Homo-oligomer: A and B are copies of this chain.
Amino acid sequence: MKVAVVRETRPGEARVAMVPELVGELTALGCLVLVEPGAGDRAEFTDEAYVDAGAVLDEGAVRQADLVLAVQPPDPAVVREMRSGAALISFLPVRQEREVVVALRDAGVTSFAMELVPRISRAQPMDALSSQAFVAGYRAAIVASGLLRRFLPMSITAAGTVPPAEVVVLGAGVAGLQAIATMQRLGAVVRAYDVRASAAEEIASLGAVPIDLGLAPLDGAAGYAREMTAARSARQQELLAPYVANADVLITTAAVPGLRAPVLVSRAMVEAMRPGSVVVDIAAEAGGNVEGVRPGEIVRIGQAQVWGGADVTSQLPAPASQLYARNVLSLLTSMTLPGDSAVFAPDFADEIVAGCAVTRDGAIVHPPTRDLIGG
């Protein structure tokens, strides 16, 4: 069984789907690991490190592979190079990547989307959305610390005491909780809000203060939030406004995979922030939680600097790749019969396999995607 590791080509993408330290686990399963030269360069993994770990460098890896591993969905041109009957594991946001899905279907490639892995406890080690959100949340806190022209911790010196910075985090999923934890480590006073019922307890468990707006919770499927009505959104903005106005740092992380991020903070709310305030919105690529944010840029709104995340996980490409590769390895292992010559044999009766499969045998097998695209 030949496994190919591709060199990512999308601008801004610095991760790689497999890291040298895990190559040994693939070869132990009975896989031959083929790596496109330079695949790990942007994540500080050298070709030499892959070879030392037992991989083979091969510019033609994709053409030979039984299974292709990638972070981003491959270009349709790359898909067409794959053997009919081969498989792909990568992120594959089906609504946004219809052209790739069609190419996979037409090339007879069996594809598995990491973001469709069911959120059940057996699949936790395969949960790449969570592992990457963890990276993004940490990074959001570090970026905010760097932009802020004040101390985060309370600072006591012979020349007097400087109070700690006030941080507000909106969205307390994996990313938000990691942002909260990092800001707490740095000594800031952190308040956080999330529409889900369980969030307050998790926020408090990190030592931060849950913001209670007195609104009904909005729990949705698989631990994510439900979409909210326009009336709820307006009321929520109104109630959040004083918290935002009082914050030195606002970090927003509210995103639901595949959907537009909710606008939690209006331009007027940012305009009410103090001089020198910092806003970090890691949902910017999904439309943003903050009105006026632009992904990959710092814009000035009122007296605040507003940082819009773009490819945030690629800012920490080595650990993001390590965690993603571990997710991929875990999924791959569950689909492989190990042996002297391993066989890729996904069991479509398995809830995880069935849940994340997008195409198979020339057909789209993920029902919502089939409804969207056909066939």
Contact = CB atoms under 8 A, between A and B. Distances in A.
What is the oligomeric copy number? Answer: 2
A232 interface: no
Interface string A307-326: 00000000111110011101
Contact of A318 (B150, B182, B315, B322): B150
A155 interface: yes
A259 interface: no
A254 B84 CA distance: 63
Contact of A322 (B149, B160, B319, B326): B160
A186 interface: yes
B159 A125 contact: yes
Given A44-B276, A185-B185, A275-B46, A130 B149 contact: no
Interface residues of A, number: 42
B146 A44 contact: no
Contact of A138 (B151, B316, B330): B151
B323 A124 contact: no
B318 A157 contact: no
Contacts of A187: 185
A131 B158 contact: yes
A127 B155 CA distance: 16
A126 to B, nearest CB: 8
Contacts of A162: 319, 322-323
Most buried by B among A143, A149, A155, A187: A149
Contacts of A317: 149
A125 B318 contact: no
Most buried by B among A125, A153, A185: A185
Contacts of A252: none
> For the complex, would chain A's binding face be called helix, strand, loop or mixed by DSSP majority?
helix
Contact of A125 (B146, B153, B155, B158): B158
Contact of A150 (B145, B159, B316): B316
A124 B158 contact: yes
Contacts of A134: 155, 157
Contact of A149 (B44, B46, B276): B44
Contact of A151 (B150, B275, B319): B319
A142 interface: yes
A149 B157 CA distance: 31
A202 B149 CA distance: 27
Interface string A135-179: 100100011011001110101011110100000000000000000
B130 A157 contact: yes
Interface in A319-366: 319, 322-324, 326-327, 330
Interface of A: 44, 46, 124-125, 127-128, 130-131, 134-135, 138, 142-143, 145-146, 149-151, 153, 155, 157-160, 162, 182, 185-187, 275-276, 315-319, 322-324, 326-327, 330
Query: Which are the 3 A-B pairs with shortest beta-carbon distances?
Result: A146-B146, A124-B158, A159-B326
14 contacts: A124-B158, A125-B160, A127-B159, A130-B157, A130-B159, A138-B155, A145-B146, A149-B316, A149-B317, A150-B316, A150-B318, A160-B322, A160-B326, A162-B322
